[in-house]
Amino acid sequence: QKEVEQDPGPLSVPEGAIVSLNCTYSNSAFQYFMWYRQYSRKGPELLMYTYSSGNKEDGRFTAQVDKSSKYISLFIRDSQPSDSATYLCAMSLMTTDSWGKLQFGAGTQVVVTP
Amino acid sequence: GAVVSQHPSRVICKSGTSVKIECRSLDFQATTMFWYRQFPKQSLMLMATSNEGSKATYEQGVEKDKFLINHASLTLSTLTVTSAHPEDSSFYICSGSGERGTDTQYFGPGTRLTVL
């Protein structure tokens, strides 16, 4: 079983709809959670990060963490065709031994159709 | 956000040659840099972690003699793929992290290596 599970998609939504992405994880020791966006043949771009359970909002993006359920989500409101990309969740233990090591999900491909 | 550059963005080489990829942090000092490999439609796989001025730490299964990493300064790390073979063809991405105590990594745009 992978430590981080993420549905690879593709997830197709019409322009203006809410995109809902999620990851589940098995290691309850994960403390730091991130979402990256990766366009084709480009490096990942950090979208959001959070340390704690609850919601964090930044513009059209909302990140949600539920540590009790070991489940994180990313919501994109008013989606645009330019949001079409692969979205990767990542998380880390933030311990001295594992500092810097991120566990990535497989990435979900999102397609926003005009 | 912090900016990381990579050079070259794309390289094609013959089997048996060596290829060097540069990773630079442009507006921050990267105390730690990471090298990843990504195959088509797959997620990133960490190859090695390098701290400025010390030897890189390689992940299990990654040959340190084949993938030479040098982190000579706080803004530059290089990955050299020695005696490249077609199976080394992949997308190589570096990232930098400047702050100890936070795992936020900023990624470069990647280098696509094709070995003929």
Residues in A closer than 8 angstroms to B96, CB to CB, are: none
Q: Report d(CA A60, CA A56) in Å as an integer.
A: 11
Q: With an 8 Å Cβ cutoff, is B96 touching chain A?
A: no
Closest residue in A to B102 (Cα–Cα): A94
**pLDDT at residue B2 in the model:** 81
Q: With an 8 Å Cβ cutoff, is B32 touching chain A?
A: yes
Q: Up-side HSE of residue A39: CA atoms within 13 Å toward CB? A: 8
Q: What is the pLDDT of residues B72-110, one digit of tens each?
A: 888 999 999 999 999 999 999 999 987 654 567 889 999
Q: What is the pLDDT of residues B9-57, one digit of tens each?
A: 999 999 999 999 999 999 888 888 999 999 887 888 999 998 887 889 9
Q: Tell me the β-bridge partners of B93.
A: B36
Q: What is the pLDDT of residues B48-81, one digit of tens each?
A: 998 887 889 999 999 999 999 998 888 999 999 9
Low-confidence ranges of chain A (pLDDT < 70): 1, 96-100
Neighbour-count burial of A68, counting CB atoms closer than 10 A to its CB (0-12 exposed, 13-18 middle, 19+ buried): exposed
Say whether B43 and A107 touch across the interface (CB within 8 A): yes
Q: With an 8 Å Cβ cutoff, is B34 touching chain A?
A: yes
Q: With an 8 Å Cβ cutoff, is A40 touching chain B?
A: no
Say whether A49 and B104 touch across the interface (CB within 8 A): yes
Residues in B closer than 8 angstroms to A8, CB to CB, are: 41
